[in-house]
Structure 1
C-alpha cells in the first residue's frame, strides 16, 4: 500500500470516528460542529451542512441512530435481556399501531372536511 492510500485510510477512519462521536451526542453536536466549521473556514461549515442535509441528520431523529441506541449488547443476565428485548419489541409495535391510528384519524378528518365542502358546494348550486 502506498503512502497516499494509507493517508486516505487514516482520514476515512478519523471522519468515521468523528461522525460516530457526533451521532452519539445528537443533533445539537452536529449544529455546533457546523457553526465551528463556518467560523474556522466557511467551506468546511458548508460541507458539514450539506452532509447533514444529505444524510437526514437535520431531521428530528434518524432511525439508524434510534435503533443503535436500543440495540445494546448483552448484559449477561439472560432474563433481563429477554425482558428488554420483549419490551422494546412491544413498544415498537405499539408505536407502529399508534402511527397507523393517527393516519386513520387524519384520513377520517380529511374525508369529513371534503364531505362538508361537497355539501356546501351543492347547496350553493
Structure 2
C-alpha cells in the first residue's frame, strides 16, 4: 500500500521540484524528454501549455490588471480619497488616450482610402482614354 502511494506521489514531487527551479527547469526537462524519447518531451510540452506552467502567471492578459491590493480598503480616509481621485484621473487619461488612438486610426484609414481612390481615378482615366476610338 505504501509503495502505491509513493509511486503515485512521484509526479507531484517532480512537479514541485521543477517549479522550485522555475520555467527554465521545465524547458530543460522538456528538451531532455525530446532527446531521450520524443513522446516524453511532447507530453511535457502539452502539460506545460495546458497546465498553465508556461503562460499561466505572467501572461499578457494579466499585465494590464490592477494589483489586488489597490482595491483593498486601507482604513485611512485621506488616503482613500487620494486613491479614488488618482484612479479617476487615470481612467480619464486612459479614455482620452483611447479616443486619441481611435482618431489616429480613422485618419490613417482615411488617408489610405484617399490614396487608393486617387490611384484608382488615375487608372480609370487612362482606361477611358484608351477605350475611345482614335480619330483619323
What's the TM-score, normalizing by structure 2? 0.52
Deviation at 1:44, TM superposition (A): 4.3
Matching residue within 6, 24, 27 for 1:38: 27
CA 1:47/1:97 → structure 2, altered by over 3 Å: closer, same or farther? farther
Task: Classify the secondary structure of the residue corresponding to 1:67.
Answer: coil
Is 2:49 the partner of 1:49?
Answer: yes
Task: Classify the secondary structure of the residue corresponding to 2:75.
Answer: coil
Cα distance in 1 for partners of 2:26, 2:54 equals 15
Residues 54-69 of structure 1: pairs in structure 2 closer than 5 A: 57-59=58-60, 62=62, 66-69=65-68
**Aligned equivalent of 1:120:** 119
CA 1:120/1:56 → structure 2, altered by over 3 Å: closer, same or farther? farther
Q: Name the larger-Rg structure.
A: 2
What's the TM-score, normalizing by structure 1? 0.56
Q: Deviations over 1:71-119 (max 9, x none)?
A: 2423332111111122112202211220121122111111111111111
CA 1:33/1:88 → structure 2, altered by over 3 Å: closer, same or farther? same
What's the Cα RMSD here?
A: 3.7
Greater relative contact order (Cα 8 A, min sep 6): structure 1 or 2? 1
Unpaired stretches in structure 2, ≥5 consecutive residues: 1-11, 31-40, 125-136
